[in-house]
Structure 1
């Protein structure tokens, strides 16, 4: 088996009871289909209790329950990712002693290691138990080679002849309880549980959800390869407990392996009994070493799509960790499974629902693993009809995508959020974040630019962009007094502003980011029709029933949208933002609870103040290249030169609390070509969002996948300056002085390019096996880079960049 690269490991050298839940999320394993929190197996053997130290989470991607819940007096039907039965409870005891627990032994050595290159999590323990020295080597994986398989292996070193009791648990009585403030929406979700088991250590479980068509089968098998054992079983509160006795062999070694296979819905036979049999049949015959080898080889093929190295070991470490979690969430095993992109990975944070966070992953996926980007596009395209229906119900045209999505394509935003400080329910109006549609259109366009796939443009890409554009064109209303189109009653990316102070209805008018991205989408819709062949354009128009005068109306709306400028110099966050009260500086910089909770507990609201949870206006500066922004603004008739840009950026930076994980990565991108020093500072903070967070942080609920992907995007799109355009690949690097050497590979229209930043230059080399040349644009000109050819691009100084921005 290949030796892991120590530069690609996450290592904890000591046990910290208070940090266990965060580490369970940080070190979670997945393969795009299954996800397994790094919960200690021995913790799952004890009777279920309210244990704040551990949380056993095991999930099937996209497997949601929609059972109604009573919340704040309302019956709420909202999708939530299901916590599956926990199949990995495992522990041992000496004779009649207590079951092994880290908190009851004298720990001599502790090391927990996640190998990013292989997807294997290892725990190495050495401790004294009842005057005996015990060594435990644990290895676990979620197979990147087999979609429905997870495996645990223990190797115990004990004195020969010692008598042991072994216990393993298949816990079907689990609840969704990973986020305490969400308990009113969560609870027990699995119903109709039934079990099978035998004396050889095999077991199976079947269950259903509130929707009787959503069904699960799980099988487990306990193996002791060097010492076959007989197991006896009991059932207690939906927990199948299997137990046996054994004597340590002369070698002093005892190996225990436990495999788990999960089948859901159409993967399993119709009857529960047959489903349990089928799940057992799919248990692998291979031993742990063979299963790990197959998974490792699959991981190695995946990593070839990035090939990232850096002279800064901490930077490389963080970026590999972020890419690892991206590939655990969206993998080749995800393709064809109708799965979206959850912002906390496939865990219980945000109920496992899908927001806009693929926006931060798409530039990376489209240029490294385009087939994975296509899979996410298919998730949105499959819900296009539902988005059209939602628009019609609102009296609008086109497609209105929900802010939060899950299985059905309906809106999944919970109507209420519990404030843990006051105990009161706060209305959640964030379903008004209509800018989600522009994110879907942006992602679709990025995939087309990366692949130049005309069939995509004439099909899903074109349909998504045009239908979102039609939505904007119908939502925007013409105001004769201003001779402008207005978009009213929406919420921007900043969730701290839901309405005007004391307003009867939620929603804000003319959010800058929303309006800019609406204009961008309307422009793209016209461009789609112009790019297609006459036959394809006619077919698309006919399929979507595009009326002859619609494209001209799209153009009129795009050029006539209103933007809320202050003194013709400053782009405000939304109309009226500048009239709000000035916030206390302590709220921006002091040590305090989450601001919306703190203010609501005082019967106040963030809506009253000029502060934002996260970058809002600056999202446009992060997302859209300067040239694109300028073109949009000029066509709208607005002046926004470099002085206005700096004034706008400084104004909003002074009002951001950065209480969203996305905020600092957005600021790093927005500032890359404006203020290199500030950009790098924000970037360093963004890299530490999860790895550097305290044990009681929100990381416990799941990693912050959008911020992780955003760090990779900022590196490639801003610092290395890689931009996808219709006429080729644009490379205009703006690396901070601190970024000395980094290399990565990417794919652009089926051609592989290797980029290396070193010694004040960015080298671009086309792979020998490329079938054609790549059109490149850079500051000194343009070229066609043929197979095996290289190009050196000089790095402009920060002063030069500042002068041109």
Structure 2
């Protein structure tokens, strides 16, 4: 892998064993369509070895019944759509062209993140003639339904009799992830095909629910007449091209994807194929990317840091874009791909501070996804006898829980029950996101609307789920699972769930406090409207107050905040388990007839999440409210204790540690940060990156830079800037939106400057280590750090 600039990424050799990881790394998307970077010539064969064609429509799930381990399940999964990108050629009746190490002279694949364009350049010999193929592809950020593939074939002489083959394939299905095969498989049934001699073609396919339709229309532009045939759910179009007298031979595929209510018939979909020139389509796409990058980009002088941050920013912005706002979409953990079935977890928690301060309209759209599912979350809580809203750990289209009932453990070949739907802390993540948007925008209308709705309904859930324990004179939360998924039950327990997970309990308290803040901060008329709409009873706020002051937290004998009640009584883990050549710990132990539940081990940072999300002052205020001792020494010992148990087998773990330690151990924070920056870029060929990039880790890396290292945090009182730059960070610049005003924050030669742009319409309140001051438009102030 080579990097010539911080806004591009390139591979300068072909490696079949690494192709699926590169396909995920170079996936192109526009917030609506997602296209894996599978080679077109590989797509042109029925079952390409080592490649995986993938085309997805954001949020288009199928929950048809599957039998897994003897149980019927309706787990929703993002659908792999018909593949329209197959393209290859042959000369003199030789085999159809395909990539092979022994035939390539040169090879280079490169993404330009500034432009959202992926290119390949490869050279080879065809029937004794040197040929160069230049491929360009993009998923239009100017047209939500459009993707374009372009080939230019350069040769020193005309290649007469060159045959070209284009395919549109609906035979593939969802088969990327071996351990999920029983949940996946074929999901689409071809309903209608059409193909014309001018290269236009299309297919309409349905899910098992035949009211759910997708149309994929494609036009393959080439100097030939096409002859097509459909067999085995696959359209093959062949033609003999005329080599141009001057310039390269150009082959181009334009693709339109439409689903459900966007679809008015296949002829309509084919009519939507654009007539504009390639240059015009590309220019509109590039302009949209130029506009997107203008929104508060974070730049770091050190290329080793800046490059992975730009890569992260590119993936995040193509997963959630202005085009996404027209659709009902969340923030998928692995992007719009098959990893985790394309489902939505809590990963937006790591991206929301960025969206809220860079693109608040996109943050608001993501919050709409949750608010639209609020009625379903209320029904889920009511079914279990709780009040308020209980959001699912894994979400898709209908707001119901999508966690699969079983996980396949490949070392033993066993199906193991998956109880992680008990991660009720997802509700606090939704509330955190909502409050983050309010702090960044100061928008009282949204606070009185969806922001207030979400925070209050999650608070209602916590107030009803917390049980008052007379023996402790405190509230307890029982039978849940924390962020660390290696502990799902107590040793030898018959039922899953743990009691008093520290992160869950303290974030429940935080949420209850924010619900009280919502009522306190709203003007009277807006508050009364909110109270009436949510049918708030007069006694509810006082109950929230009581619960939020009397929640139980687990501590070890020496005063350290424990992960959950009883964690300190588990067996210590042998040091050899942390060897890098070991398989994943839960798979390894289960194959031995053992279980992580028995040991003091953590897959990822759990309690440390508190130090990642909340500042020392915020944590101190919560502990004071609960009347528990807490100071810098307890915080440091708590972090050391949990760092000793974490195995970092989650992509998020080192990101969380980098943020949690930023203000207390700069060296350790920087070490973790440098690791988390390259989570996907340095992954092995057979790693989970093949299933989609880790968006939360990418978002978290940007969040740590902005919110921890530069210390930029919106607050009720104003914009807080309390930097904690680690040694070796160097110069940084970023821009954030605060209450609709653009603020530039720079670190140059160890001096951190905050500047309110001159075009701002009003001053802001700036809070930093030297005090609080009013920052007027066009003025700057240096802050310590």
TM-score by length of 1: 0.96
Q: Is the 8 A contact 1:217 1:264 kept in 2?
A: yes
Quote the offset at 1:746 in angstroms: 1.1
Matched, 1:186 2:176: no
Matched, 1:640 2:639: no
Quote the offset at 1:192 in angstroms: 3.8
Q: Is the 8 A contact 1:5 1:117 kept in 2?
A: no
Q: Is the 8 A contact 1:106 1:129 kept in 2?
A: no
Match of 1:699 among 689, 700, 709: 689
Matched, 1:537 2:536: no
Unaligned runs of 5+ in 1: 270-274, 796-805
| Alignment-derived partner of residue 258 in structure 2 | 263
| Alignment-derived partner of residue 713 in structure 2 | 723
> Partners of 1:94 and 1:303 in 2: how far apart?
43
Quote the offset at 1:318 in angstroms: 0.7
Quote the offset at 1:794 in angstroms: 2.5
Alignment of 1:504-543 (within 5 A): 504-543=494-533
Quote the offset at 1:247 in angstroms: 3.7
| Alignment-derived partner of residue 161 in structure 2 | 163
Quote the offset at 1:683 in angstroms: 0.3
Quote the offset at 1:764 in angstroms: 1.2
Match of 2:133 among 129, 133, 136: 136
| Alignment-derived partner of residue 25 in structure 1 | 24
Match of 1:689 among 679, 683, 689: 679
| Alignment-derived partner of residue 386 in structure 2 | 396
> Partners of 2:6 and 2:656 in 1: how far apart?
27
> Partners of 2:480 and 2:46 in 1: how far apart?
48
| Alignment-derived partner of residue 206 in structure 1 | 204
| Alignment-derived partner of residue 803 in structure 1 | none
Residues 138-191 of structure 1: per-residue CA shift (max 9 Å, x gap): 000000000000000000012214321100100011210111110000000002
> Partners of 1:663 and 1:163 in 2: how far apart?
57
| Alignment-derived partner of residue 362 in structure 2 | 372
| Alignment-derived partner of residue 664 in structure 1 | 654
Q: Is the 8 A contact 2:60 2:79 kept in 1?
A: yes
Residues 524-580 of structure 1: per-residue CA shift (max 9 Å, x gap): 001100011112112111111111111111011111111001125201100000000
| Alignment-derived partner of residue 40 in structure 1 | 39
Quote the offset at 1:760 in angstroms: 1.6
Quote the offset at 1:5 in angstroms: 9.3
Residue 79 of structure 2 aligns to a residue in which SS? strand
Residue 381 of structure 2 aligns to a residue in which SS? helix
> Partners of 1:587 and 1:624 in 2: how far apart?
31
Q: Is the 8 A contact 2:5 2:307 kept in 1?
A: no
> Partners of 1:794 and 1:386 in 2: how far apart?
47
> Partners of 1:249 and 1:734 in 2: how far apart?
61
| Alignment-derived partner of residue 351 in structure 1 | 341
Residue 198 of structure 2 aligns to a residue in which SS? coil
Q: Is the 8 A contact 1:588 1:656 kept in 2?
A: no
Quote the offset at 1:16 in angstroms: 1.2
| Alignment-derived partner of residue 234 in structure 1 | 229
Residues 402-458 of structure 1: per-residue CA shift (max 9 Å, x gap): 000000000000000111111110100000000000000000000011111111000
> Partners of 2:576 and 2:437 in 1: how far apart?
43
| Alignment-derived partner of residue 120 in structure 1 | 117
| Alignment-derived partner of residue 253 in structure 1 | 248
> Partners of 1:211 and 1:381 in 2: how far apart?
26
Q: Is the 8 A contact 2:170 2:190 kept in 1?
A: no
Q: Is the 8 A contact 1:105 1:127 kept in 2?
A: no
Quote the offset at 1:212 in angstroms: 2.2
Match of 1:71 among 52, 68, 73: 68
Match of 2:214 among 216, 221, 226: 216
> Partners of 1:388 and 1:320 in 2: how far apart?
39
Alignment of 1:312-711 (within 5 A): 312-711=302-701
> Partners of 1:656 and 1:766 in 2: how far apart?
41
> Partners of 2:146 and 2:177 in 1: how far apart?
26
> Partners of 1:116 and 1:130 in 2: how far apart?
36
TM-score by length of 2: 0.98
Pick closer, same or farther for the CA change 1:421–1:373 going to 2, 3 Å.
same
Report how many residues are paired.
Answer: 782
> Partners of 1:310 and 1:511 in 2: how far apart?
37
Residue 248 of structure 1 aligns to a residue in which SS? coil
> Partners of 1:455 and 1:161 in 2: how far apart?
66
Matched, 1:760 2:758: no
